[in-house]
């Protein structure tokens, strides 16, 4: 690539030749680039190199050239993507038209002979589309950061995906707050892996293309639903047996689809999706149970009680059966049998009467009522924070809850947040 380093000298000599003006100012904006031509690259992009430096000894920068249809698209997407300036967005270097005439190893109808418009980005490992094809088509391929997608006895979403999806949803919201919209979040090729992060490229539009606020709100919600629709299809394609083989994943998309039908406003829709248990770490999942038990004991108690009385929770009516208790780990069973388990209001009244008579502090028992399951899970959360060393990690507690009461929190979230 020595010719790239010789080029600046050539241009400088060309500009100075025959020009004796004492007032002349030359500004250099020289940028050189090259394509790597090979068969393994997706037809939607080319890998290549970029040289942009006033230091002629500077290193080449590895880049990717992403194709766009027209000059107008290239300029618009470049400006909007650069203006987004957000952590979930990969900023482009610039846009180019590349038309090459002399490639002896290309057929005559190759697109580079005709010329293409591209956006130049820092080199990324893969886009989501190519990575997915790689995972599905290569049994021996393993990516420790991203695989396996399911962890925790096959019930939890791997940390990389859990955090990436939350960051993307929140990041798209910040893009919208800057008056921009993406417009292409339904395409897996617009998501790329770089620096152990999942980012978006190719932001297409300005929200103020819409004259009225209703149009802008519609486009913002369209972005989020495109992102969620892409994820729905992606999970379905990459999971063995589809997303219905994974209860927690199916609960999440059932929630998303119901939320769409509820026609919630944009901000409320995003808040409820981001807050779904599928996208939460263990402590926040358990904290949700604490929150709902507090609701049950407060002025919104009837809402919680009504939800728990629904047929959807019938499977949990035998939650404290002998077989379940016999299979609990030591910490969970210890909390269940704890002398000071927080009683319900009805039980508190009974306890007070008995205490007056006996002056002995009684042990509070749980009933088979589903409300008592919620109370037990709240107590589990509180006991962990008081005596965490006995339980291991909060992930261990959450795993135990999922093992014995799988789907309970997801159903409760659905019925309390959308009904």
Q: What is the mean pLDDT of the chain?
A: 86
Work out the end-to-end distance of the chain between its first and last CA atoms, rounded to an integer number of angstroms.
64
The CA distance from 227 to 118, in Å, is 24
Determine contact, residues 56/8, Cβ cutoff 8 Å. yes
Q: What number of other Cβ atoms are within 10 A of residue 311's Cβ?
A: 6
Distances (CA, A) of 56 to 32, 53, 60, 93, 343: 12, 7, 10, 19, 76
Q: What is the pLDDT of residues 248-289, one digit of tens each?
A: 999 999 999 999 999 999 999 999 999 999 999 999 999 999
- For residue 18, pLDDT over 60 is answered with no
CATH code linked to domain 2-122? 3.30.200
Residue 413 CA neighbour count, 13 Å, CB half: 30
The CA distance from 41 to 127, in Å, is 11
98: CB partners within 8 A, 6+ apart: 35, 65, 112, 115, 116, 117, 118
Q: What is the pLDDT of residues 148-165, one digit of tens each?
A: 999 988 899 999 999 999
| Residue 389 confidence (pLDDT) | 61
Find the DSSP H helices in 239-344: 247-261, 266-274, 282-296, 301-308, 322-327, 330-336
Domain ranges of the chain: 2-122, 126-279, 284-417
- For residue 343, pLDDT over 60 is answered with no
| Residue 106 confidence (pLDDT) | 72
- For residue 4, pLDDT over 50 is answered with no
| Residue 360 confidence (pLDDT) | 38
Coil vs helix vs strand at 219: helix
236: CB partners within 8 A, 6+ apart: 242, 243
| Residue 99 confidence (pLDDT) | 76
The CA distance from 131 to 133, in Å, is 5
Q: What percent of the chain has pLDDT over 70?
A: 82
121: CB partners within 8 A, 6+ apart: 63, 64, 65, 66, 90, 91, 92, 93, 192, 201
What beta strand segments (E) does 79-124 contain? 92-98, 116-122
**β-strand partners of 156:** 151
- pLDDT band at 20, cuts 50/70/90? low
Q: 151 or 362: which carries more pLDDT confidence?
A: 151
């Amino acid at each position: 690539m020595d010719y790239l380093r010789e080029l600046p000298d050539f241009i400088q000599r060309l500009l100075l030749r025959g020009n004796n003006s004492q007032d002349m100012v030359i500004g250099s904006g020289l940028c050189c680039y090259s394509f790597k031509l090979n068969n393994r690259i997706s037809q939607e992009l080319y890998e290549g190199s970029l040289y942009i430096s006033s230091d002629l000894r500077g290193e080449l920068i590895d880049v990717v050239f992403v194709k766009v249809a027209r000059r107008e698209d290239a300029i618009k997407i470049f400006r909007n993507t650069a203006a987004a300036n957000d952590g979930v967005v990969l900023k482009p270097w610039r846009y180019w038209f590349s038309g090459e005439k002399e490639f002896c190893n290309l057929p005559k109808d190759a697109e580079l002979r005709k010329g293409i418009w591209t956006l130049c980005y820092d080199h990324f490992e893969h886009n989501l589309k190519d990575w997915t094809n790689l995972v599905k088509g290569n049994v021996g391929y393993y990516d420790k950061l991203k695989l396996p997608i399911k962890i925790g006895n096959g019930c939890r979403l791997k940390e990389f995906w859990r955090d990436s999806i939350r960051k993307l949803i929140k990041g798209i919201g910040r893009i919208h707050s800057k008056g921009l919209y993406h417009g292409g979040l339904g395409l897996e090729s617009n998501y790329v892996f770089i620096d152990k992060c999942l980012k978006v490229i190719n932001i297409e539009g300005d929200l103020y293309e819409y004259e009225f606020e209703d149009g802008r709100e519609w486009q913002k919600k369209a972005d989020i639903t495109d992102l969620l629709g892409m994820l729905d299809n992606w999970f379905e394609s990459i999971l063995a047996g589809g997303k219905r083989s994974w209860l927690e994943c199916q609960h999440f998309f059932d929630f998303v689809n119901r939320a769409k039908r509820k026609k919630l406003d944009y901000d409320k829709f995003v808040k409820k999706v981001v807050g779904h248990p599928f996208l939460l770490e263990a402590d926040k999942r358990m904290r949700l149970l604490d929150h709902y038990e507090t609701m049950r004991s407060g002025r919104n108690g009837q809402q919680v009680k009504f939800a728990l009385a629904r047929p959807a929770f019938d499977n949990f009516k035998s939650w404290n059966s002998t077989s379940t208790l016999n299979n609990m780990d030591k910490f969970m069973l210890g909390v269940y049998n704890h002398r000071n388990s927080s009683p319900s209001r009805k039980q508190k009244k009974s306890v007070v009467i008995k205490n007056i008579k006996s002056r002995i502090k009684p042990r509070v028992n749980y009933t088979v009522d589903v409300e008592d399951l919620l109370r037990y899970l709240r107590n589990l959360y509180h006991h962990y924070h008081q005596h965490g060393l006995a339980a291991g990690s909060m992930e261990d507690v959450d795993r135990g809850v999922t093992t014995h009461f799988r789907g309970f929190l997801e159903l409760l979230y659905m019925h309390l947040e959308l009904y």
